[in-house]
Amino acid sequence: MITLKNVILRRSAKVLLDGATVTINPGEKVGLVGRNGAGKSTLFALLNGGLHEDGGDFSMPRQWRLAQVAQNMPETSESATDFVVAGDTRLAELREQLAAAEMAHAANPDDAGMALAHAYTDLADAGEHDAVPRAQALILGLGFKVHELDQPVDSFSGGWRMRLQLARALMCPSDLLLLDEPTNHLDLDALVWLEAWLQRYAGTMIVISHDREFLDAVTDVTLHIEHAKLTRYGGNYSKFEEMRALQMEQQQAAFAKQQEKIAHLQKFIDRFKAKASKAKQAQSRVKALERMEKVAPLLAEADFTFEFKEPANIPNPMLTIGDASFGYVQEDAPPKVILTHVNRSVLAGQRIGILGANGQGKSTLVKTIAREMGALAGTVTEGKGLNIGYFAQQELDVLHPGSNPLEHMVRLARDLGPQSRERSTEQDLRGFLGSFNFSGDMVKQPVGTMSGGEKARLVLAMMVWQRPNLLLLDEPTNHLDLATREALAVALNEFEGTLMLVSHDRALLRSVCDEFWLVGRGAVKDFDGDLDDYQRYLLDEAKRQRELAKQAAEPPAPAPAPVVAAPTPAPARPSEGDSRAQRQRSAQERQQRAEQTRPLRKELAGIDQRLVSAGAEKAALEARLAQPLPAPEIADAGRRLKLLGDEIEALEERWMTLSEQIEALAA
Ligand SMILES: Nc1ncnc2c1ncn2[C@@H]1O[C@H](COP(=O)(O)OP(=O)(O)OP(=O)(O)O)[C@@H](O)[C@H]1O
Ligand SMILES: [Mg+2]
């Protein structure tokens, strides 16, 4: 069981968790959600021992084995299979023990026999015999091809190496599995495979993700971080959204109610503070007001929107590709050709979604257009004034970890040359960053310490600043939280230039693209159909791949159950029935209280009204008495004033008694 009690967690001056109290039971599948920069990855750092709590208590069973995806890019010539097998750290340990036992046995055959026998059995128990097929099932499941199983790790591109890191984490037998946005480098096929694998995982799992469908498929508990508070919801993401909406409604109602009460107290104070006989009571109301624990109003999430500036010019055609071949130049080997006979034009205002199964060359196409690499043959002709905004999330090299957002913008403005100088004072740049939610201190925070989503947002901001007329976006939504994704979709829809988009985010493709290109089997073609047709195409393509792979792979199987005893069943939680009964009871109680206080409140409201009118009449009389008046009128007015004064006093007494009674009943 993992418990946090009043945990405080900070990063520099930022308080990310303030008094977090939560329990995670063995075997639970938890989704950890929250806006970009809320502190999700930081909470993982607490769980994996990378960070210490700044206050409160955090505990986790000491013997639990932890598996997580290493965040670094692996640099090794080890084969993909060996690299993933090594993820089974227990196996690695036992192999070492066996080697030691063998050495001891060779040195002294009489003594070390027992140790050797043990080492063999332990190794067999740890699944030594099928370690390689298990690793390979993971690798293939994550979308690699059979012939790639033995290729060196460093021959793969960044995204693929990160997949190997994921496979390695899944290979490790564990009691607790921590996954920080595991779907970022995956396409649809691999994603579906991962969901199935995780559903069979027997240990405790905590996964951070901004992907609603994925979370729904693999989690049954949701932890939400917001405003430094951590809240647990018993349900998957959709259930969480429902419960939260309800809770927000209730909070809103509680807030409104308290505001009413505050207004009431304030009214009393305002009315009586100048009156000596009531000053004490008024004072006690002031205290009550101060003591009152304020229900927070619903902070409307700082909703973030942005827009692309209108491009200075829009060439047409933007780009013409004539009989070109795209691919990679290799040292000591002929070039690796990925796409051939590419004949395409890109026109002003087109909105093209680039589709294609894994590894078919979508990024190669995009990178060549972005001038990151040259065409191997043929021509790529650019329209006059073409200004490309290229977003490749996986290559965060556009960012310098040591510099802050402001320095990035200053550099960018300088590089753009004199035409942009006029709009690049520090004040302008700060203002611009502010519009991308980098406010105050954050413009000076080194990029290396920012969260994934914050970095992605900065890259977006830098792109918008350049006022491109052709947007080339390669998986732009990775790392972005849902609200920012929506903001991006809106901005893209209003963009007046041309858009080329690679994304596995179906909602985004659907909402911003109106034609599709298909990259596959070495060619780039128009795709006649919609995204549903494409999904069918993917399935067929996957079937084809599987048939090719059949001979080498066993069906993917989850890693062996955790080494430590099987997860004990979660302690009984109040059943649904109980909580419903409870809800009913408290609803009844609320109703009863309302019944009891209703006549009192009604009377109070009447008194309020009467006090207002009596006060007005009194003021009018006093004003009249200040004028020269005939004596009888003065006497009349005086009598009336006295009556009014007595009435007001009585009303006020009653007002106070009633208020106190209502308060007592409501408590
Ligand atoms: N060393 C640091 N110094 C200052 N601020 C930091 C440091 N490390 C992290 N932060 C800040 O703490 C906040 C939380 O970061 P964290 O990476 O935990 O966010 P996250 O919830 O994982 O966000 P995302 O969804 O974008 O991944 C961010 O605003 C980040 O900029
Ligand atoms: Mg994060």
Task: Categorize the per-residue pLDDT at 562 as very low, low, confident or very high, splitting at 50, 70 and 90.
Answer: very low
* Mean pLDDT in residue range 186-209: 90
Q: Are residues 534 and 592 in the same domain?
A: no
| 209 C-alpha to ligand 1 centroid (Å) | 15
Q: What is the DSSP letter of 79?
A: B
Whole-number pLDDT of residue 531: 80
Whole-number pLDDT of residue 571: 35
Q: Are residues 511 and 610 in the same domain?
A: no
Q: Are residues 602 and 655 in the same domain?
A: yes
Task: Categorize the per-residue pLDDT at 604 as very low, low, confident or very high, splitting at 50, 70 and 90.
Answer: confident
Q: Which two tokens stand for residue 154?
A: 């460093």
Residue 646 has a CB neighbour count (10 Å cut-off) of 10
Is the Cα torsion angle 452, 453, 454, 456 positive or negative in sign? positive
Q: Which domain holds residue 394?
A: 319-402+446-546
Residue 397 lies in a domain: yes
| 448 C-alpha to ligand 1 centroid (Å) | 10
Q: Which two tokens stand for residue 419?
A: 């035409």
What residues sit around ligand 2, an ion, with C-beta below 5 angstroms? Answer: 41, 451-452
Give yes or no for residue 42 CB within 6 A of ligand 1.
Answer: yes
Distance, CA of 402 to CA of 154 (rounded, Å): 26
Q: Are residues 463 and 542 in the same domain?
A: yes
Per-position b or e across 430-467, b if 16+ CB within 10 A of its CB: bebbeebbbeeebbebebeebbbbbbbbbbbbbbbbbb
Task: Categorize the per-residue pLDDT at 379 as very low, low, confident or very high, splitting at 50, 70 and 90.
Answer: very high
Which residue has the CA at smallest separation from atom 1 of ligand 1? Answer: 449
Query: Each residue of 323-343: pLDDT tens digit?
Result: 999 998 888 888 889 999 999
Q: Which of 235, 254, 271 is the last residue of a domain?
A: 235
Residue 180 lies in a domain: yes
Task: Categorize the per-residue pLDDT at 15 as very low, low, confident or very high, splitting at 50, 70 and 90.
Answer: very high
- Cβ atoms of 438 and 461 within 8 Å: the answer is yes
The closest of 609, 604, 644 to 624, measured between CA atoms, is 644
Tell how strand 2-11 and strand 14-24 pair up: antiparallel
* Mean pLDDT in residue range 584-604: 78
Whole-number pLDDT of residue 396: 61
Atom of ligand 1 at shortest range from CA of 442: 31
Between the alpha carbon of residue 404 and those of residues 426, 444, 624, the distances in Å are 13, 5, 71
Q: Which two tokens stand for residue 426?
A: 């520090």
Give yes or no for residue 450 CB within 6 A of ligand 1.
Answer: yes
Q: Are residues 341 and 223 in the same domain?
A: no
| DSSP-derived 3-state class of residue 468 | coil
Atom of ligand 1 at shortest range from CA of 43: 18
Structural domains in the chain (count): 3
Residue 551 lies in a domain: no
Give yes or no for residue 163 CB within 6 A of ligand 1.
Answer: no
The closest of 359, 356, 354, 388 to 371, measured between CA atoms, is 388
Query: Which of 446-450, 463-467, 550-554, 597-601 is predicted least confidently?
Result: 550-554
Q: Are residues 510 and 610 in the same domain?
A: no
Residue 660 lies in a domain: yes
- Cβ atoms of 119 and 97 within 8 Å: the answer is yes
Please provide residue 151's backbone torsions phi and psi, each rounded to the nearest 5 degrees.
-75, 150
| DSSP-assigned letters across all residues of 316-342 | SSSEEEEEEEEEEEETTEEEEEEEEEE
Q: Are residues 523 and 591 in the same domain?
A: no
Whole-number pLDDT of residue 575: 42
Question: For position 513, which CATH number holds?
Answer: 3.40.50.300
Q: Which two tokens stand for residue 461?
A: 């901001």
Q: Are residues 622 and 539 in the same domain?
A: no
Question: For position 621, which CATH number holds?
Answer: 1.10.287
Query: Does pLDDT of 17 surpass 90?
Result: yes
